[in-house]
Structure 1
Amino acid sequence: MMASSYFEQFASPSIVGVPLIVVALMIPWTLAPAASRKWLKSRFEGTQKWLLKQLVSQLFSTLNSEARKWALLFTSLAGFLLGLNLLGLLPYTFTPTTQLSLNMAFAVPFWLAAVIIGLLNRPTHALGHLLPEGTPTLLIPMLIIIETISLLIRPIALGVRLTANLTAGHLLIELISTATFVLLPLMPAVSFLTGGVLFLLTILEVAVAMIQAYVFVLLLSLYLEENT
């Protein structure tokens, strides 16, 4: 019963019949810088643009010109996922990216678009990934099946990786915070020590939220690179 109560934090709550996941999905867009006629931007907007520039240079420095057309779309996706991951760490909030259905809704269309582009523009090259060069004749059917399964499992791996990392971190924070409050009247010294561990874990979870958003988009860009 107690274990089920811990996992209730990953269920989408609702207020007055409105699912909070809808509100949570709209919040990151409010952080996007608006157009301004001022020559000197604010520090917040300048920091945002610097971070976006670094992200784009890291993701697309090795891609060809055809794949770089996706820069704006992938950068928007990275910023959106980053906003959802970080906002979910605030108290009394909900993290939409702990829902596998939402992550799969991001992963499948981008992966499928990259595969379709490869089949339309470079069909021989795209299908060549299913059979490594120099494969013995007897192993050809088995390798084609294995590589096809590997190709189809990519979006599932993307969605499960993001969901599992965020769910595990949030659940561990919930367990340690509960232990901190329970031990406070019984063993204050141990409670303060647990609180220090909770603080360090929160910092680690912030890093995980940033890294997972980056890794998600990075893997999508690698899939696109294979097909362009």
Structure 2
Amino acid sequence: MTSAAGEQPAPRKKTGRRPGGADTRGTVLEAARAEFAARGYQKASMRAIARAAGVDAALLHHYFGTKDRLFLAALEFPIDPRLIVPQVLEGGPAAIGERLARLVLALWEQPDVRDRLLAVLRTAAASEEVAGLMRGFMVAEVVAGVAAGLDVPQPELRVELAMSQVIGLAMARYVIAVEPLASASPDELLPLLARALQGYLTGA
């Protein structure tokens, strides 16, 4: 059947994957949060996240590059923890505690970074789901990397003990605000924290 004179045929509805656009990134992040929550960091896949978001997997790689970067974006993490690994290991084990302590204090003393890190810590403390996601990510991407550069017995355990020291410092100094820790200067804290971290990581 032909259309009446002067009438235009109705436009054909487009089907297929969602194209990139202003709202696509947000849609992908929502899908990523749901997929990471359902499967955990290690089992979640970029392909499944793309399918849930209704986009092509190539678009995820365009926006985020890799799964770990998508994870950090989904949790709104203010830093890439994997960058810690080469900075901590560079220069050998002799001063690894000081390097880690200096890096930790430099990050936590930035108000915008500190606020977001505290938000992640509080959320993880209140939600086993978020805690599980962070645990899977940190073990796979950070603990394993630092441990591989340590020539000591039980390297993974040592790295996790060092992490516990850093998290404990953050909670006591910035959340509970225990004095005199809360008002101590970074210069006061650096040598004390460095010695504790050095002991955890190398036994020295």
- TM-score clears 0.5: no
TM-score range, shorter chain: 0.3 to 0.5
TM superposition score normalised by structure 2: 0.35
More helix by share: 1
Whose relative contact order is higher, 1 or 2, with alpha carbons under 8 Å and at least 6 apart? 1
Greater C-alpha Rg: 2
Question: What is the TM-score of this pair, normalised by structure 1?
Answer: 0.32
